[in-house]
Structure 1
Amino acid sequence: MARKEITYTPSAEVCSKEIHIVLEDDVIVEVGFKKGCAGNTQGVSALLKGMKKDEAIRRLRGICCGRKSTSCPDQLAQALENMA
Structure 2
Amino acid sequence: MQHFDYKPRGVCPMRISFDLDGDKVHNVSFLGGCNGNLQAISRVVEGMTVDQIEGYFKGISCSGKGTSCSDQLATAVRAAYEKEKA
Decide: shared fold, TM above 0.5: yes
Residue identity over aligned pairs, in percent, reads: 37
Aligned to 1:6: 4
TM-score normalised according to structure 2 size: 0.88
Unaligned runs of 5+ in 1: none
Q: Partners of 2:51 and 2:38 in 1: how far apart? A: 19
**Which amino acid in structure 1 is aligned with residue 68 of structure 2?**
S
CA RMSD of aligned residues (A): 1.0
Q: Partners of 1:30 and 1:14 in 2: how far apart? A: 20
> Structure 2 matches for 1:1-84, cutoff 5 A?
3-10=1-8, 12-83=9-80, 84=82
TM-score normalised according to structure 1 size: 0.90
Structure having the higher strand fraction is 1
Unaligned runs of 5+ in 2: none
Q: Tell me the number of residue pairs that the alignment of Structure 1 and Structure 2 aligns.
A: 81
Contact 2:27 2:46 in 1 (8 A): yes
